[in-house]
Structure formats: structure tokens, C-alpha cells
Structure 1
């Protein structure tokens, strides 16, 4: 007979599905295919002075915009120029305005499927982010750095405020905007055309000392005298308290530069061993410029942070800002060792290129930015241009086919998140060791329980809230749609933590089933276990649903999964909205900082878990359903059972809070969360009925032998 609480829980399941926040059905994107009058209206907003908007050109997909007969600039759809996929797996379609002088006039969003903006943070943070491009020039180097956003822009470097919780999405948007705008500028804007690319001749080398490198122009040199600096600043250098007193004959700034990739330069400056070590570290197409300086004002300050963009120094070529970032590789293995080389106050190896690229055989310029405070209110500024010209005999021209493509976007993201990658990998190794040798470790129940709760805390705090490693059913239909459209692994590599977790989870499904993820690696699942623990401490008794009803309720999550997957192929936007059946985004991604219907739904599920252990996981989770289906391909039964399990012993079944053990003692791997509690019981001689029975039998046999011996005597 079904209990009253069981009926209540059944109604709760149905009401939970019916009462998903109505906000999920709100329209979260612009028209997918804007008609021409709507598009014209958008372009008019990008160019308010426009009197004529021409049709898309045949030779290059841009819309010329005129005020009478004066060309104001071009508007274009980013998808016509760059098809870089967003984090959702679908391109972010933007309408971008670019003036005839290479400045952004504005950006409109035509279509996107980034879930964090559609149903998480909402569209406003996205609009605020793209609004930062208006008025910015292609000659500036745009860096996403929220800590420096709002600071006064130095020549060639502008810091944009990113969006918390949407780092990958805004990086993709930035790359889409800059790469497409640079292509348009090089095809359509006068003065932005790029010279034919060149590469260093790798078999051209002769040993040269420092002076010979200078004499041949292989190392460039520029010197700014004290008097010239004073004339540019308009005052005596003694007015600046941050400057030390100059030594006799010392320059204000003395600067040297060299293109390291050319062997005649790099091998002589770094030595054969240092040059070889650097080559091993470089990725295909990566270019390196060495900059050294002496004087009162070196090219980087004493507190310069290695691995960052130099604030005092910028690089320009063809009127475009060229990305310049310190590589932080000068150490005891890689040093400047040319014969006769002087000592330098500062020396750096910079990676150069980025979206704009860098052609070593074309003229360029280093821009030295001087900012000197007289006091806390007054700052004097001056800028100096240092011509960069390298000898043509060191390079060979490339045909278009020979040009080395830019490294994929995900490469930089993996480099930036190396610490998270390391910690997540170590945690997965430890988890694998525990599960591989579980028969040994479960002999120490206190250690296993301590490890489990420590790991769950790591899962919630680090994997979930910090590293944003919450897997979702959205990832499943993103994968299926990606396979349907032509598989591109680069989409999944954009988030290294999610990629590592998905790869590990997928492999583990064939060994242990769904339980390894659901019981150990799901942040919301771990949060539910903590809610259950809290309920016990508060004296709230956990309800156990009757077996027949439980077996029916666990099936609810499967039609949910099928419905979401089917909807995704019909409308990805609708599927993303319906995916709010998962409370992951509200609780883990957004820290419960969201509109109240979403928060109420997530809190209600956690509250239900205080009465029924892991209520959401057992009955509503479409992700768990998908993992359970794949987990049916599992080839091993790692959780041991013995003959007495189920008949007569029901201890493991009573202790299994997830109710994944059947009456006959068999493990239901589709529902099991691999908490290992049943294995701990089986290994405990004081709990396992089989062990207790074996000891009793052994005592009876020993007693019988003793009686037989006494009788024989």
C-alpha cells in the first residue's frame, strides 16, 4: 500500500515539471533572418549620418554606407567573414559597422545561442560588453582584462571589461569581431592592406658577435637623450619624483630590438642551445621579438608582471596594433649570450602577432609611451616612434598557400587555465585509484568516508563554483548537433575543464556506469548530498518511497531527456529554454543570483532532497538519464555481491539511500551513484552477514572438533 508521503512526492514530481519558471519561454534572441528593411534600419543606427546604403557587394560581403557621395564605412555580418563557433557550438552572428578610418561604429547582435546570456545572466551584460567597441580603432590592441578596464588607455592598448561567468563567450566574440574587422579593413580600407607575408630562411646562418649584429642591422638600436626627453615633456626631468638621477652619459632611454626567429639573429643572441630550447617551446607560426633597454626609462617598469602585455611599449604595422605579450622564458636555460653583448636593465622576449599578424619583412614601429607623474594630480605624457626594419636577406616570401594559420582559439584558453587543468587532472587520478583498488581501500571505512566528503566538498567548491565544471544535458545535444552538422572537436576544447570531465565521464561509463559522475563529480549532486546531511543533523527524517512507486518515478527522467533531444533538432533556442529543468545554471553557475522563479525552483529541489535523498537526481535529471543509457554498455560489475546478499541479508539495501539495490540484492547500475557504502559493508566483518555467518560456522566447527577431541580422550 502506498504511503501518504509517496503520493505527495508523486504530485511534487508532476508539479515540478509543470511549474518550471515561465521565464524560460521568453524570447531570448533577435530575429534569425532579419528582412532587408530591418537590416537597413540596423545599419542606419550604426551610421546615423548615412543617406545611402548599398547592397552587399559581390567581390566581398560588405554593405557600403555613404553620406551623399562620401564613403562613411562598411557594415557586414560577421558570419559572412568568420564562422568561428560560439561556446554553444553555433556561430554568434553580429552586424558590425566599421568606418572608413578603421573605427568601430557599433555592433548589433543578430543571433546567438550562448546559454549563459539567453537564460542565465540575461542579455544586458552581453550588450554592455559589445558596447565597448564603439569608437575603438583597429590600430588599438584590445585586451579583455576586467581588473584594468576603465584605466586610461595607453597608446595602442585598450582594456575591455569582460563578463563574469561568460569568459569563453566574450573571448570568442572578441576574436570574431577583431578577426572579421581586420579582414574587411585589409580588403576595403585604404592604408590597411598588408604586404606579402614572409618567413625567415631557416638554413641561413653565420656566427656573428654583438657588434656585427648591430653593424648589419640584425639588431636595431634607438637612443633618446635626456635633452630630447625634456623637450618632448616640456619640463626639466627633475620635476618627476619617480625618476632617479641620471648618471654621466646615460640616456633617457636606450633601446635594442631583434627578430629572434631568424637563425642568424636568434642563434647568435641565444646561443645554439638556447635557440633550440626556444624553438621547442614555440608553436607553429609563433613569432618572437626581443626588446632590451637601458636608461632612466626602460621599456618595462621594474614591477612589470611577466607574461603580460607591456604597458609602455606597443607594436604597429600597416596602421594596425600588433599583439605583443611577454613570454617569460628568459631563465638559466635561455639567456642573451652573444659575444660582447652589454648588460641591460630590462630584457624580454615578446610573442608578437595575434589577429593582426606580423610580417617581419615589412616596416613596423615600436611605440614607446611615457607617462610621468609630477604629483598625484598631474601626469605628463609623450610618445615616441621607433622604426622597426629588418634586413630583407634574412627572409623569403610566402605564397598564400604557405601562410601558417593562426593557432586555434582553444590553445590560448588551455594555457590560461593550466592550474585548473592540473588540479582537475590530479583529482581524477585520485578518484581512479580509489575505484580501481576499491576492494583494498574499502577495508578502511573511516578513510573512505573522509575521502568521499572531502571530494564532494572539492566538487562543489572548486569544480562547481570556481572552475564552472558542471556538466549539463545541453552538452549532450550540443554534441549530437555537432555530429549532425559535421564534427568539430574545437568547439568542445574551448572549455578545458568541461572537456576533461566529459572525456573522463564518457570513459568511466563503460567501466563503472553513470555512478562515478553522478555520485562524485556532479556539483549539484554533491550539493544535494550536503542538503541531506544537513537534514539529518536537524532531525529531519528521510522518507523512503515504496518500491513499486519508486520504480515508476525513476522513469520520469527518460521522457524528459527524449523531449529535450528532439526539441534541440527542431529549435535549439527552445531546447535551451526547456533545459531549465536542470537547476545547475541557477545554483552552480550563477550562485543563486537570479530572478526569483529560477531560485525558488532550485531551492525547492534542494529542499525536496532533505526529505528524499537526492530527489532531483533520482527522478528528474535528464543528464543522469542520458548517462544511464550509455552506461548500459558497461562491461564490468565492480561492486561485489555474495550469495547471502538479498536473501536473507537486506542490510545494504536498507543502507542504500539512493535505493539502487533491488530486493534480490542485485545492484541497479542505472541508478547507483557508486558511493561504495555497500562495498564498505561487504568488507566489514562486523556488518556483513556473510562474514558473520562464516565466523559462526567456523566457531561451530571448532567447537565440534573440540568435542570430538574430548570424546576421543
Structure 2
């Protein structure tokens, strides 16, 4: 590369040296994303976390953007910004895409699939282990993992988006919602059995009792407007206002000790259907009761509440008719249920709240209440606590989802690299070398490109530069193991051959252009062959394009994806030409031009090719053999080189060499190589003279 180009890159790296910060949405803009009956409350911290208010003005959850909390870079180098609405129980109310620069969605697949991906979060709890992909091994039965469907051809991008959502959400949960469990809770062990009686439940604290006398409830209302509004309590101060038993009947051994055989069987049938519900038995023998006259079955009880770790636990009537075991204290009994997926852990302490309500006045009475609390927990031995079921690392999940493709790719790459390293001259000397090469390129186009979506792109290079510039994470590279392996082999190829391994053998769009060239020659189309001067001038364009794209990273990073459309790879390889007409026309132009100008895009405009040429500076050897006669007087290899990669002196310009092996074929062929032909005739004359 010329000195002036090196200077351009150095200046670009030095001029732009400030990190760009993510700009958070202001309150008015953010409020526009909140749908009634909810509204945006006050800002809670400097990381863009806001309170979410319900129609009554009470806090209902949290609103936040993911970029300030988890700025994981995507493939453009920019973070994917998502708006999350999370309720107080740790459940996603809404997840909505705000901004991104992922090239595959900007102008490839369109943004609709990306928006649809985020709709899958609604209703899910952060207590679940949520992953992107399909169950490993072919099924999800019994698994605590929740699988989100990815987007075909964009799995890496949606994995990055998912990691951003979960990282930001868990950060909010740790700071604002300490009670929300971030791992699956314990659940009753179906295989555990123990013979228990009601007396055992009481002695071991499994059945918890709470009693409140009329005098105690009067004392709770003392000094309030409602102090004298319960004449029954005043007439019978020692009477039982509340006599409440609490039992978690999720474990079968406990349920069998507390319930009649018929109710036990009905409960088991219920739990067979509602596998995530934890049933809680309440028995009340005082005059308070459990529900008001307005209570509707199968709804949340209006006098009963619960919380765990300071956060509310949603309770709902199980709508079961309850008969108790013979030795159980009799009273009003009901079974409430709560969903363990919302974070309730039955093996950890929780608190039941019973609301005592009084009314003052006759025509428009004013209601007042106090809450009676009861602490409860059930012994761990009745439950299974899944050993923290964590999703496997993103790179491993991505690798598993593409394991078959990766195996085939690795076998191919090992074979191709070994062939070019150890048997290159043998390969070039085959009588059927051209068909063999075209077969390899057909595999690259079909499997690596169209099937495997392994077309390397300048977008990855620009994303890496942006990550370095902004001090971000390179984790985005591991979300696409197929392409990462190609990059690794390509970089190794820099040392062994320069740019030739990728540009000549592994680029699907390059392979497509080569096929178009062979089609053009079959059709006997006239070929365009620029002069040496123009060939040199045109080759400099790709370096200018590369410099411009790198400048865009620093000057206008939000337009990287648009600028990178100078590559037709996405149109021709990623989306199979299913795009807007102007993209298709642009890609078709270069393919059509290849019929008369050999791989014109690769040679003159490709910014990735320019980067590969720079990477070729790492080349450790001159791997194409030359003779003293090469260049002077013999110019055959130079004339035959379609890439213009051989100078008049016979020297190989490795930064422009695509490793087509045509010159190797000529060099080793005694019927083509002029020095060998001359030497052979000289030997013939000497033999004849003797």
C-alpha cells in the first residue's frame, strides 16, 4: 500500500478520539411509548430507569432503555436500543425496538421480523431462563428454559438483542426489585413421600396459625375514625376475631395430611393442568372470614394479599371445593394459587396479609383498614430446587444451533487449506484443474454463502473498529460461529498466502462473479481489458472506499449500514436478491459486468478486498515460485494473469493476487512455460548434435 494511504488511515485514527455516548430519550418522547391506562412516572436514576404508574397513580413497574444499561455492540458496532416495560412482579409488559443499525434488518430482511421478535417477551418473567433458539436435543419437555424463536438469517443479531434486554432487565431487578428471583424457584418434589398427620404439620411449623382477639383488633384501630365502629368487638373482647391456619399444600405429603381424600384427588388433577401454580390452603375459624360478600370465585381475594422479599405475590382463588381431613380444625377453607413463574419461591419465607376493614357512617360510609400479617415458610425437604438452571453461554448456544454446519465447514476448510499448502502445485497441474476449482467455488457459493450465510463483510471490520473506538465489547463476534471460523481461517491465510485464500477461494460473491465470467466467455462476449495504467488507477479506488467507510465510523456512525451497501453481498448472498429493485439492480450490474470485465468489483471497488490486501502485509513468504527469465524476457504469466497481479519484472504483487493458480500452472507446465520450452529445445539440439 502506498505511503499516502497509510497516512490517511493514521490521521483518521488520531483525529477522532472521543467516545460517543448513548443519548437517552427525554420524558416527553418516552411517554409516547406508554399505552393507557399506564403513564410515565418520575426518573429513578441516571441510567434512564423511570417508574411506571397505573391509572390510579400508583407505581406499577419500571420503564427503561437497554442501551444505557447494557450497551452491547451489534454487528455495525452500535448498540441495539430496546424499550422495556417491567411490572413489579418481574414480568415483561412490553418490549419494543427503539433503534439499531443491524445491517441485515436495515435494508435486507426489513425491520418487521425484528419488531416481531420482541413481541415474544410479553408475559414472560425474568425468573424464567429465556434463550434464543430451539431446544437442544429436539425437545423442551420438562425444561425450565423458555425458547424464543430467532429470525432466519439474523440469528446472531437477535441473540445480541436478547442479551441486551436480559442484561439491562436484570440490572434493574438487582437495583429496584431485590425480591425478584432471577433463577427458577423451588417446586414440590413429586417423588418425595412422608407419612404426616395434622399434628405433625403443627409441631413442625408446616401449618402456621395466627389468632387475633376482638380486643387486639380494637387496639389496632384505636385513635382512628373507626375506633368505635365494631360493637361486637367491644361486647366480646376475648372473642376470636381471626383464627387463621396457613398451609402450603403443594407437596403431596402435606396435602394428604390436611385435605380429605376427595379434595386431595381434585387438587392433584388441578395441579396436573396448572403445573406452575403453588396451592396455599387457608382455614379461618374466627368471625373475620376470608373474603367479602362481593368476592367472585376464581379471582383475587379482596381481603387477602401476600408478598415475598418486599414485593407483592399475585394470589387467585383456585376455585376448588375444599373438604378438610378429619383431624384438621374446621372453619371456612379455601385454596389460593400463585404462579411460581412470577418469582414466588415456596421454600423461602413469605408473608400473608389479612385486611381488617371497618366502615364509619351510614349513607356514605368511609372505609378504613389495618393489615394483619403472618410469616410463613415450608421446609426445604419437600421441594426440588433446580441447581441454578442457567442458559449456556451465548457462543455455545449459537454453536450448538449450527453444529452440523460448523462440522461440514471445518472439514472443508481443513481440507482446502491442507491442499493449498501441501499439494498446491499438484492441484494446479491437474488436467482438470478448472473444473475442480469451479466445483470448489460452487460449494463455497452454495454451502458457505447461500446456506451457511458465511459471506464475510466489511461491516464486521467497521463494527470492530467502532468497538475499539468506543471501548465496547467484542462479544458480538461470537454470536455467529460460522462466520467467525471463516474469519479465523482467513486471518491465518494472511500469513500463509496474503489475501488470496479468502478472495480466491472463500468469497461466495467472488465465486459468483467467476461463474459469470465463464458464462461470458462461453457466450463469446468481448472482454474489457484495461491498460496497465488504468488498471493501476482503478485498483486504488477500493482503498479510497475503505478509507471513506472508516471515516464514516467516526463522523456519522449511524450511517455505517447505509454506506456499507457499496457491497452487493447482502443482496446477492444473504437475501437471495429479495430486496428493493435498486439493490437488485446494483448487484446485478456487477455480476453482469463480470461477464466482460473479470471480477471487476473484487479488483476495483471491494472495500473488504482492500482490507484483505492490507492484511496481506502479514504474509510471511513468497509462495509462488519464479524463474530468472520471468519478466525478462518471458511475459506469459503477466499476460495471462486476469487480476493484473504480476508486474513487468515478473514479481508477484501479492496484495492483488487472488490465488487462482493460473501462473503456477504455467510455471510447472513444460508445454506452456516459455523458459521450460526453450530449455527443452536446447537440450534436443544438444542431443542431436552429439
Q: TM-score, normalised by structure 2?
A: 0.65
* Structure 1 CA distance for aligned equivalents of residues 398 and 347 of structure 2: 30
* Structure 2 CA distance for aligned equivalents of residues 649 and 596 of structure 1: 48
**Alpha-carbon shift at residue 565 of structure 1 (Å):** 0.4
Match of 2:38 among 50, 67, 82: 50
Q: Quick one: structure 1 residues 234 and 636, their matched pair in 2 at CA, closer, same or farther if it must change by over 3 Å?
A: closer
Query: In the alignment, is the contact (CA less than 8 A) between 2:251 and 2:383 conserved in 1?
Result: no
**Alpha-carbon shift at residue 593 of structure 1 (Å):** 0.5
Match of 1:628 among 596, 613, 616: 613
Partner of residue 304, structure 1: none
Partner of residue 674, structure 1: 659
Q: Quick one: structure 1 residues 408 and 590, their matched pair in 2 at CA, closer, same or farther if it must change by over 3 Å?
A: same
2:94 is the alignment partner of 1:94: no
Match of 1:319 among 316, 330, 342: 342
Match of 2:464 among 462, 479, 498: 479
Q: Please give the residue correspondences for 1:353-368 in structure 2 after superposition, counting only pairs within 5 Å.
A: none
Query: In the alignment, is the contact (CA less than 8 A) between 2:670 and 2:677 conserved in 1?
Result: yes
2:506 is the alignment partner of 1:515: no
* Structure 1 CA distance for aligned equivalents of residues 689 and 513 of structure 2: 52
Match of 2:490 among 481, 505, 510: 505
Partner of residue 619, structure 1: 604
Partner of residue 648, structure 2: 663
Q: Please, which moves more after superposition, 465-474 or 169-178?
A: 169-178
Match of 2:165 among 177, 180, 192: 177
Q: Please, which moves more after superposition, 133-142 or 684-693?
A: 133-142
**Alpha-carbon shift at residue 602 of structure 1 (Å):** 0.3
Q: Please give the residue correspondences for 1:204-215 in structure 2 after superposition, counting only pairs within 5 Å.
A: none
**Alpha-carbon shift at residue 510 of structure 1 (Å):** 2.5
2:673 is the alignment partner of 1:688: yes
Partner of residue 552, structure 2: 567
Equivalences, count: 513
2:73 is the alignment partner of 1:115: no
Q: Quick one: structure 1 residues 197 and 101, their matched pair in 2 at CA, closer, same or farther if it must change by over 3 Å?
A: closer
2:151 is the alignment partner of 1:166: no
Query: In the alignment, is the contact (CA less than 8 A) between 2:458 and 2:607 conserved in 1?
Result: yes
Q: Please, which moves more after superposition, 453-462 or 424-433?
A: 424-433
Query: In the alignment, is the contact (CA less than 8 A) between 2:552 and 2:560 conserved in 1?
Result: yes
* Structure 2 CA distance for aligned equivalents of residues 221 and 100 of structure 1: 27
**Alpha-carbon shift at residue 612 of structure 1 (Å):** 0.4
**Alpha-carbon shift at residue 231 of structure 1 (Å):** 5.5
Partner of residue 79, structure 1: 67
Q: Please give the residue correspondences for 1:301-700 in structure 2 after superposition, counting only pairs within 5 Å.
A: 319-320=342-343, 389-390=380-381, 408-438=393-423, 440-442=425-427, 444-446=429-431, 448-486=433-471, 488-700=473-685
**Alpha-carbon shift at residue 575 of structure 1 (Å):** 2.2
**Alpha-carbon shift at residue 585 of structure 1 (Å):** 0.9
**Alpha-carbon shift at residue 95 of structure 1 (Å):** 1.5
Q: Quick one: structure 1 residues 114 and 394, their matched pair in 2 at CA, closer, same or farther if it must change by over 3 Å?
A: closer
Q: TM-score, normalised by structure 1?
A: 0.63
Gaps spanning 5+ residues in structure 2: where? Answer: 1-21, 196-249, 276-338, 351-377
* Structure 2 CA distance for aligned equivalents of residues 195 and 660 of structure 1: 59
Query: In the alignment, is the contact (CA less than 8 A) between 1:317 and 1:363 conserved in 2?
Result: no
* Structure 2 CA distance for aligned equivalents of residues 394 and 601 of structure 1: 58
Can you list the C-alpha shifts for 1:245-293, whole angstroms capped at 9, x where unaligned? xxxxxxx99x9xxxxxxxxxxxxxxxxxxxxxxxxxxxxxxxxxxxxxx
**Alpha-carbon shift at residue 153 of structure 1 (Å):** 12
**Alpha-carbon shift at residue 605 of structure 1 (Å):** 0.6
Match of 1:128 among 116, 122, 128: 116
2:29 is the alignment partner of 1:38: yes
Can you list the C-alpha shifts for 1:187-226, whole angstroms capped at 9, x where unaligned? 545963469999xxxxxxxxxxxxx99899xxx9979999
Q: Quick one: structure 1 residues 147 and 156, their matched pair in 2 at CA, closer, same or farther if it must change by over 3 Å?
A: closer
Query: In the alignment, is the contact (CA less than 8 A) between 1:442 and 1:683 conserved in 2?
Result: no
**Alpha-carbon shift at residue 627 of structure 1 (Å):** 1.4
| Root mean square deviation of aligned Cα | 4.4
Query: In the alignment, is the contact (CA less than 8 A) between 2:130 and 2:391 conserved in 1?
Result: no
* Structure 2 CA distance for aligned equivalents of residues 93 and 616 of structure 1: 34
Query: In the alignment, is the contact (CA less than 8 A) between 1:53 and 1:66 conserved in 2?
Result: no
**Alpha-carbon shift at residue 157 of structure 1 (Å):** 7.5
Query: In the alignment, is the contact (CA less than 8 A) between 1:85 and 1:491 conserved in 2?
Result: yes
Query: In the alignment, is the contact (CA less than 8 A) between 2:50 and 2:64 conserved in 1?
Result: yes
* Structure 2 CA distance for aligned equivalents of residues 194 and 145 of structure 1: 20
Q: Quick one: structure 1 residues 38 and 468, their matched pair in 2 at CA, closer, same or farther if it must change by over 3 Å?
A: same
**Alpha-carbon shift at residue 572 of structure 1 (Å):** 1.7
* Structure 2 CA distance for aligned equivalents of residues 195 and 667 of structure 1: 60
Query: In the alignment, is the contact (CA less than 8 A) between 2:133 and 2:401 conserved in 1?
Result: no
Can you list the C-alpha shifts for 1:412-456, whole angstroms capped at 9, x where unaligned? 212322222222222221222122224542463235434322221
Partner of residue 272, structure 1: none
Q: Quick one: structure 1 residues 451 and 183, their matched pair in 2 at CA, closer, same or farther if it must change by over 3 Å?
A: same
Q: Quick one: structure 1 residues 176 and 443, their matched pair in 2 at CA, closer, same or farther if it must change by over 3 Å?
A: closer
Can you list the C-alpha shifts for 1:502-556, whole angstroms capped at 9, x where unaligned? 1221222122111111111111001100111111222223221222211111111
* Structure 1 CA distance for aligned equivalents of residues 48 and 530 of structure 2: 65
**Alpha-carbon shift at residue 489 of structure 1 (Å):** 3.9
Question: 1:67 aligns to what SS in structure 2?
Answer: coil
Q: Quick one: structure 1 residues 660 and 601, their matched pair in 2 at CA, closer, same or farther if it must change by over 3 Å?
A: same
* Structure 1 CA distance for aligned equivalents of residues 597 and 349 of structure 2: 71
* Structure 2 CA distance for aligned equivalents of residues 455 and 178 of structure 1: 42
Partner of residue 324, structure 1: none
Question: 1:79 aligns to what SS in structure 2?
Answer: coil
Rg comparison, structure with higher value: 2
Can you list the C-alpha shifts for 1:316-336, whole angstroms capped at 9, x where unaligned? 867349xxxxxxxxxxxxxxx
**Alpha-carbon shift at residue 102 of structure 1 (Å):** 3.7
* Structure 1 CA distance for aligned equivalents of residues 40 and 571 of structure 2: 46
